[in-house]
Chain A
Amino acid sequence: DTAVSQTPKYLVTQMGNDKSIKCEQNLGHDTMYWYKQDSKKFLKIMFSYNNKELIINETVPNRFSPKSPDKAHLNLHINSLELGDSAVYFCASSLTSGAPYEQYFGPGTRLTVT
């Protein structure tokens, strides 16, 4: 009965490869997010979807492409991975983006690019 789940938990890959991270929430929320946490623990939003519509698209390289097949799922595909992409990626969800609801975070995916 995990609320926000991500797969995989760990991802080790070489530069230039393409990889995907999947996220699912069973909370009935309509808004989902991707965050990147760097090695200094700084947390920054990358994307947000509300009812499958992209509503936040921060300054992120276009090698990163989110996709939301339905309200409960938000995936992140990364092309041509670079060393600087190494980080922990968190998925989160909330009830509605425009209201003051808290976000619920997944356990994170630690991506290491070698």
Chain B
Amino acid sequence: AQSVAQPEDQVNVAEGNPLTVKCTYSVSGNPYLFWYVQYPNRGLQFLLKYITGDNLVKGSYGFEAEFNKSQTSFHLKKPSALVSDSALYFCAVRDAETGTASKLTFGTGTRLQVTL
């Protein structure tokens, strides 16, 4: 079975500071990894994904994430946080080996609060 852990319910950071939102995963095969963001009363928006290749992936709004196979992690990062980044962030994983019926498993979400 596949799973995702987001160990922090909330991350607080001052505007202009770097931010990290943590994610670790477990799959039996190779992972496809995704980050999504949810603003209040909105659906989830795709930020970035890791499929294969370069371990550092860049996404929307200046976010990036680093895939670390040995630590089974896929932490989301941004060099300089903005107040407008405040939202709920979800990490998700799919097992690359399970074909058309494979499902996306989401973490429990991390609320990012950026203050002035």
Contact = CB atoms under 8 A, between A and B. Distances in A.
A and B are interacting partners: yes
A105 B43 contact: yes
Contacts, number: 57
A25 B51 CA distance: 25
B96 A100 contact: yes
Contact of B43 (A45, A55, A108): A108
A108 B38 CA distance: 11
What bracket does the count of chain A residues touching chain B fall in? 20 to 34
B20 interface: no
Given A41-B108, A42-B108, A43-B90, A98 B100 contact: yes
Contacts of A92: 43-44
Interface in B62-116: 88, 90, 94, 96, 99-104, 106, 108-109
Interface in A56-95: 56, 58, 90, 92
A92 B100 CA distance: 16
Given A45-B104, A104-B46, A108-B43, 8 more contacts: A40-B108, A41-B88, A42-B106, A42-B109, A43-B109, A97-B101, A98-B99, A105-B44
